[in-house]
Amino acid sequence: MTAQVVPPDRQVTPVRQPSSLAAARLEKTVSAGAVRHNLAVLRAAAGGRGIMPVLKGDAYGLGAPAVAGLLVGAGVQALAVDTVAEGAALREHGVGVPILVMDVDVADNAEACARYRLMPAVAGLEQVARHSAVARRRGEPVTVWLRTNVGFNRFGPREERDVDTVLDALHRARAAVRVAGVFAHLSSSARDAEETAEQAAAFRARVSRARAVLGRRLAVSLAATHGLLHPAALDGTDWVRPGIGLYGLMVPDSRDLPGWAGSALARLRPAVTVRARVLDLVTVTRPEGLGYDRSAALAPGRRLATVAIGFSRGVTGHAPAFTGLLRGRSCPMVGRPGMDCAQFDVTEVPQARPGDWMTLIGREWDGTGPERSAGDVAAELDLTLYELLAALRMPVRLEDGADTPVAPP
Ligand SMILES: *Cc1c(COP(=O)(O)O)cnc(C)c1O
């Protein structure tokens, strides 16, 4: 018999799900209306090419199944992820469109890749061998994309002669392995037009060789979000693979690229907000410091809000520039965050109350107030925009923006 820890009449009847209990303190929201608008903007910038949204890292920490549902509902015909596990999770959530697994995964996952009807990237001989073995074992061909390396240098050979060896292997394995397309990742499209043009030219040469060996019908994809700012990265391609642009975000430096002027991407709209509740207010009465080891010194008279975001949610270390918006004012974080809360100096906000929402990313007052952009926050925490989105782990709510007007492309 199992031990009865809580007597039956004392057991708590759950009234709210644990996830909604967490969301009452802290939440990340994604505006569905803004994502649909951004998809329209990306389509306009892609000039008739297909859009294959990239939902890696749980859609940049925004919830891949929900974002996939939204995008497929908006007419997207293919998706991309980094890993077999991510693709399998989308299939388990009923996503039926073709899914490209862009990174090379471990050989152990090749069988599941086929079972979930995912399209793996093959970059080298090892992957050709592993996917053709799976196809033979299953008695069913596997569809792959060739990932070719034009300078990102993370997967696959860099030199032409080695690429030719891979093409030969794919040609020999053609009964088992069907190559649907060829793609590459640009290394510097957020910052460097010249290098991007060079990599795009190298890519076009690779595509011609691939077509000479494998046939003319190969689909072609090079640009991600920032690639849309480079005509050379779009030339001769069929698919664009945007990720971060779907959420209205771009690397700030990309605004200095020659392609920025007149680009449709100027119309992208931020889609993400992060807010956390004020839990308590503390007035400093002694010059003794606060937190572990009383290491953060603060003068008596200052008023602090203890807010429900800590390092378990991605706000780590000592970031004295990190601030939150409370009742229209910018309030700096003081000291180091704890596991589930951090403190902000709200001396200038005498009306602050427990239960108030502090805005960490986005606009206050349902979008009408002052704004803290994701770019500001990334700079304050010394993270890239990509790192910031994925680092902030908390309940995510997809706000149904069906009534938000979508700007014509
Ligand atoms: C992440 C990634 C993308 C999407 O990049 P964004 O800059 O977020 O648009 C596209 N292709 C590959 C191979 C990637 O790894």
The residue contributing the CA closest to ligand 1 atom 12 is: 185
Q: Which CATH homologous superfamily contains domain 272-399?
A: Lyase, Ornithine Decarboxylase; Chain A, domain 1 (2.40.37.10)
Give residue 307's Cα distance to chain centre: 25
* Residue 14 pLDDT: 65
Tell which CATH classification among 3.30.300.180, 3.40.50.2000, 2.60.120.10, 3.20.20.10 matches the domain 32-267. Answer: 3.20.20.10
Q: What is the distance in A from the centroid of ligand 1 to the CA of 354?
A: 40
Q: Which residues contact 402 (CB under 8 A, 6 or more apart)?
A: 32, 33
The residue contributing the CA closest to ligand 1 atom 13 is: 185
Atom of ligand 1 nearest to the CA of 225: 9
Cα distance between residue 120 and residue 84, in whole Å: 8
**Two structure tokens written together for 169:** 């292997």
Residues of the chain with CATH 2.40.37.10: 272-399
129-136 contact pairs (CB < 8 A, 24+): 129/169, 131/176, 131/177, 132/173, 132/176, 132/177, 134/110, 135/176, 135/177, 136/176
CB 235 within 8 A of CB 5: no
Q: Which residues does residue 333 pair with via DSSP β-bridges, in sequence order? A: 344
CB 234 within 8 A of CB 227: yes
CB 257 within 8 A of CB 223: no
Residues of the chain with CATH 3.20.20.10: 32-267
Mutate to test the pocket of ligand 1, among 102, 199, 268 (most ligand atoms within 8 A of CB): 102
pTM metric for this prediction: 0.93
User: Which residues sit with their C-beta closer than 6 Å to ligand 1?
Assistant: 54, 56, 102, 185, 224-226, 241-245
The 10 Å Cβ neighbour count of residue 396 is 21
Q: What is the dihedral of CA 152, 153, 154, 158, to 10 degrees?
A: 120
279-306 pLDDT, tens digit per residue, is 999 999 999 888 888 888 899 999 999 9
* Residue 406 pLDDT: 40
Cβ-count burial of 69 within 10 angstroms (0-12 exposed, 13-18 middle, 19+ buried)?
middle
Q: Is the dihedral of CA 31, 81, 360, 264 positive or negative?
A: negative
Cα distance between residue 106 and residue 120, in whole Å: 11
* Low pLDDT (below 70) residues in the chain: 1-14, 401-409
Residue 376 to residues 228, 309, 389, Cα–Cα distance (Å): 23, 17, 13
* Residue 74 pLDDT: 98
* Residue 405 pLDDT: 42
**Two structure tokens written together for 392:** 């902030």
